[in-house]
Structure 1
Amino acid sequence: MAVAAQAGFAEVKVALDSPADLEGSGSYVWAHTFAEHLKANGMEAEEFQRGALGGDDELFDQISQGLLEVSMSPLGIVGSIDKTIYGLRLPYFFKDMAEVDRALNEGGMLEKINAATTQEGVRVLAVDTVGQAAGIFNTKKPVKSVADMAGLRMRALDESQIDLYKAWGADGTIVSWAEVPNALQTGVADGYLNPNFVPLLFGHTDFLKHFTDAAINPSLRIAIASEDWYQGLSDEERATVDAAVEAANSANRAWLGTQDGVFDKLRAAGVEIQTLDDAARAEFRDASGPAYDSGLLSKEQIATWEAAKGN
């Protein structure tokens, strides 16, 4: 616990997962607001650009060992500890961020997630939105229905996402984010699921020319912290960190309301946009059933998320 004993007096390192763009990156809005709140209240904090301290797995290891204080990370990075968090990735399960927040906070799901992860040295400080609900980007053709997914090979996060693609009639291949541009250029992958801003933020509009606003699930990342660091803070410092989380959450949700203009930016970049009608959206929703039966989450865990939404 030597790290924890000294953590409160050291600089808080915040590892970013996106460019430092307050207009285009909801993740950066969260991280920057968090760091600035700490600094405004007497705690030293510094942002480190994406990749400067390592990849996602390396950052996760550093967090769990108490070597790094805070990291902006992919949603499933804590899934190796406990799979409960995967409820946030169920397709067509949440209708909006308000429902996500209700499940996490009033429904107690953030507390349930942390009951497992903190035992392994990792605290999920927050779930942050990185854009409007995820849709389908690809390099080849307009996708207006499930049938149009045939012939596409999509970049997948993991095997569960490959199963979802198969249910839609497409193929999937796991590709790390760093390798995505090369995969799109060489045809290793024809597209990916992401919120509408992602190709703009990461410069992928040279390859991706089609977007389907399928509104599959809320586009989420997480802010994780070292539990050793968090518990090693003084009461005053911990209160400052908790207040910084609240400020960052508020700024992040307010930022989401500014993102309606992204579609115009995509069109200006040469991306053709498809909007699903009610019948096509229902078809995608019905075809997504295997994601609920994949075994990634138990039926009991899904039922717990359902109850937490309060519907």
Structure 2
Amino acid sequence: MSLFQRFLPATLTVSYLLSTLLFVGSAQAATSVNLSYNGAPDPEKNAVHLFATNLKELVAEKTDGELELKLYPNSQLGEEQARMEQTMSSPNLNIASFAGVSPVMPEIFVSAIPFLFEDFEAARSFFDEGDYWQAFDETLRERTGIEMLAVVEEGGFLAFTNNEKPIRSPEDFDGLRFRAMDPSQVALYEAFGASGTPIPWTEVYMALRTGVADGQMNPPMYIILGSLYEVQDYLTLANIQYSDQFLVGNGAMLDGWDEPMRQAFLEAVDEANAMAREHNEAKVDERIAYLEEQGMQIIEPSEENLNAFREQGQPAYLEWLKTQDIEQRWIDMALDDAGMTQLAQ
């Protein structure tokens, strides 16, 4: 049975406690830390890798070489849940998606309410300043021993792709099969009349090529990264969800560093994240243009159809959240932070 399967908020495993105690005693001697994440080591195609490489350089610079990050892209240390388990039980850093965080903190799904943010500024303010995210950080540490370090943009807002027909309105989803990253995306597809099947990122290209799925949802960056334009004809810019992943670290490791080391590391994280955000936002239009050059048909839904997506998707998603044993206070905090309290009614 995995750590995820036996995970309980009030009772950490003996092995975790022992590893924590041992690491606290030896943290000062540690100079190398693993950082794992999804996607290829290509800074032009993978915004997460760009963030990771910038962070590696900044950490080395700000700690005068006392701390070195070893990068493991392409899920080399395992898929999402395996990497999170490693981070809970040993001195590691990990950039996780919703599929990695949600098994221990299903409250993460609240931040993915469709159309929660109008633009980058609104999304960044939500995570940088909101009460929901502060409470999320504190609860994650209490439950798992993991510390949330940064919300990392992975390429803009999510867009729909498929290989069957242009999607301009919710009705166009009828009968289509979509790859889902996690159960929340399954719920969203079903709200539009399609079906969703969770498929790991590493298997998405083949699933689309062989017809296991007709479409998927990702920001333009990931569509390029996975060469999905080779097996998808239509790109719908619905901007339905903010596309992000999460830099997390083993709490015992971070606590074991002396204060100058910890502060230098956190400064490096903030600076790398600011650099990644600036780069990411500047690249959005360029990436969409590239996909069009590769032969994808770009669909920009009308304001009327965007409203239809919102009016159909938001209530269905909120109903799904209620089935996940997520306390209403999390939803209320998030909607209040986003200025959308009317949705809680």
Common fold: TM-score over 0.5: yes
User: Which residue number in structure 2 is paired with residue 16 of structure 1?
Assistant: 37
User: Which residue number in structure 1 is paired with residue 221 of structure 2?
Assistant: 197
2:135 aligned to 94, 100, 112, which one? Answer: 112
2:300 aligned to 275, 278, 282, which one? Answer: 275
Structure 1: 5+ residue stretches without partners? none
In the alignment, the residues of structure 2 paired with residue 2 and residue 159 of structure 1 have an alpha-carbon distance, to the nearest angstrom, of 36
- Between the two structures, name the one with larger relative contact order (CA 8 Å, sep ≥ 6): 1
1:153 aligned to 153, 159, 177, which one? Answer: 177
Q: What pairs with 1:231-250 in structure 2 (closer than 5 Å)?
A: 231-250=255-274
**Cα shift at 1:16:** 2.7
Specify the SS of the correspondent of 2:185: helix
Could you report, residue by residue, the CA deviation over 1:133-162 in whole angstroms, capped at 9, with x for unpaired residues?
111011111111111111210011233322
Asked whether the equivalents of residues 29 and 251 of structure 1 are also in contact (C-alpha less than 8 Å), the reply is no
Specify the SS of the correspondent of 2:55: helix
TM-score, normalising length: structure 2: 0.85
**Cα shift at 1:103:** 2.1
The one-letter code matched in structure 1 to 2:292 is: R
Specify the SS of the correspondent of 2:102: helix
**Cα shift at 1:97:** 2.6
Asked whether the equivalents of residues 131 and 333 of structure 2 are also in contact (C-alpha less than 8 Å), the reply is no
In the alignment, the residues of structure 2 paired with residue 265 and residue 49 of structure 1 have an alpha-carbon distance, to the nearest angstrom, of 24
Q: CA RMSD in A?
A: 1.6
Specify the SS of the correspondent of 1:267: helix
Aligned pair 1:291/2:317, yes or no? yes
Specify the SS of the correspondent of 1:62: helix
Asked whether the equivalents of residues 116 and 338 of structure 2 are also in contact (C-alpha less than 8 Å), the reply is no
Does the C-alpha gap of structure 1 residues 247 and 209 become closer, same or farther in structure 2, counting only changes over 3 Å? same
Specify the SS of the correspondent of 1:173: strand
Q: What pairs with 1:62-141 in structure 2 (closer than 5 Å)?
A: 62-67=86-91, 69-119=92-142, 120-141=144-165
Q: Pick which of 94-103 and 128-137 moved more.
A: 94-103
Q: What pairs with 1:168-247 in structure 2 (closer than 5 Å)?
A: 168-247=192-271
In the alignment, the residues of structure 2 paired with residue 76 and residue 89 of structure 1 have an alpha-carbon distance, to the nearest angstrom, of 12
In the alignment, the residues of structure 2 paired with residue 111 and residue 310 of structure 1 have an alpha-carbon distance, to the nearest angstrom, of 17
Does the C-alpha gap of structure 1 residues 46 and 158 become closer, same or farther in structure 2, counting only changes over 3 Å? closer
**Cα shift at 1:310:** 5.3
In the alignment, the residues of structure 2 paired with residue 106 and residue 143 of structure 1 have an alpha-carbon distance, to the nearest angstrom, of 35
TM-score, normalising length: structure 1: 0.94
**Cα shift at 1:65:** 0.3
User: Which residue number in structure 2 is paired with residue 262 of structure 1?
Assistant: 287
The one-letter code matched in structure 2 to 1:77 is: G
The one-letter code matched in structure 1 to 2:108 is: I
Could you report, residue by residue, the CA deviation over 1:23-49 in whole angstroms, capped at 9, with x for unpaired residues?
232212221121111111222222122
Specify the SS of the correspondent of 1:144: coil
The one-letter code matched in structure 1 to 2:33 is: V
Could you report, residue by residue, the CA deviation over 1:162-216 in whole angstroms, capped at 9, with x for unpaired residues?
2211110111112121221221112111111111121211122210111100010
Could you report, residue by residue, the CA deviation over 1:74-100 in whole angstroms, capped at 9, with x for unpaired residues?
034222222332222110111123222
User: Which residue number in structure 1 is paired with residue 331 of structure 2?
Assistant: 302
Does the C-alpha gap of structure 1 residues 217 and 270 become closer, same or farther in structure 2, counting only changes over 3 Å? same
Structure 2: 5+ residue stretches without partners? 1-20, 341-345
The one-letter code matched in structure 2 to 1:5 is: G
User: Which residue number in structure 2 is paired with residue 165 of structure 1?
Assistant: 189
> Percent same amino acid at aligned positions?
24
Could you report, residue by residue, the CA deviation over 1:109-145 in whole angstroms, capped at 9, with x for unpaired residues?
3331121211212111111111121110111111111
In the alignment, the residues of structure 2 paired with residue 97 and residue 261 of structure 1 have an alpha-carbon distance, to the nearest angstrom, of 17
Asked whether the equivalents of residues 118 and 227 of structure 1 are also in contact (C-alpha less than 8 Å), the reply is yes
Asked whether the equivalents of residues 7 and 233 of structure 1 are also in contact (C-alpha less than 8 Å), the reply is yes
**Cα shift at 1:70:** 0.9
In the alignment, the residues of structure 2 paired with residue 141 and residue 307 of structure 1 have an alpha-carbon distance, to the nearest angstrom, of 37
